Amino acid sequence: MRNSCDPRIVLKLGIALGLLEGCGYEPVYATERPEVRLSVEAAPYGAPNLEAVAATVSGVRRSLSTAGVLRPGDGYPRVMVEVVRVDERAAGMAALEDAEGVERPTARAASLGVVGRAWIEEVERGPRLRDTGDVRRTATYAVGSTTLAEEPRYEAALRSAGHALGQALGRRILGEPETTLEPL
């Protein structure tokens, strides 16, 4: 038994492969990946939360390390990471009675957002290259009835949002397109 192919199908397949190979497709937002290895350093920051800064820097380091462009230590060129702000808002509400029997809205969950930016510095006080612009990542956590019960969940959400922010900043520095479904 002999295999036979319709010559028209073979011709169409050949033309399609030829067109795909030479179409010149390039991602719109991607740029060339840095050719040098980069160190990472925290820029002076306005956000009063050191844990958010540490988590964001860690996320950038992880992203650069995965791509093979992380240089240990400090020096130039380097990625400067700035945490602009940390904000929080209620994500889930419930109407609970207070001591006087009046129903009041109470947060049951909170959304914690960390906003930051990154850029490459080739020399001290040099121009900002590949500035990412402001990027925001969020994490949601359950709100407890007491501050003591809420603190560990808040810190875990802060680390999670900061680390996700750092990875997103690292991808942008590398010129990799990335999408997000972050709430406003």
Closest CA to 56 of 68, 71, 40: 40
93 belongs to a structural domain: no
Number of domains in the chain: 1
16 belongs to a structural domain: no
The CATH code of the domain that includes 164 is: 3.30.160
User: How crowded is residue 139: how many other Cβ atoms within 10 Å of its Cβ?
Assistant: 21
156 belongs to a structural domain: yes
178 belongs to a structural domain: no
79 belongs to a structural domain: yes
99 belongs to a structural domain: no
Q: How does strand 103-121 pair with strand 39-42?
A: unpaired
167 belongs to a structural domain: yes
Q: How far apart are the first and last CA of the chain?
A: 64
Identify each DSSP E strand in 66-157 by its residue range.
78-97, 103-121, 135-142
143 belongs to a structural domain: no
DSSP structure class, residue 25: -
* Parent domain of 123: 26-88+114-138+151-173
Tokens 């093979």 -> residue: 68
Q: How does strand 103-121 pair with strand 135-142?
A: antiparallel
Tens of pLDDT, residue by residue, the chain (184 residues)? 555 667 677 667 666 655 555 555 454 444 555 678 899 999 887 666 889 999 999 999 999 999 999 998 888 999 999 999 999 887 777 777 778 888 877 767 888 899 999 999 998 888 989 999 899 999 988 876 666 667 888 888 999 999 999 999 999 999 887 776 665 5
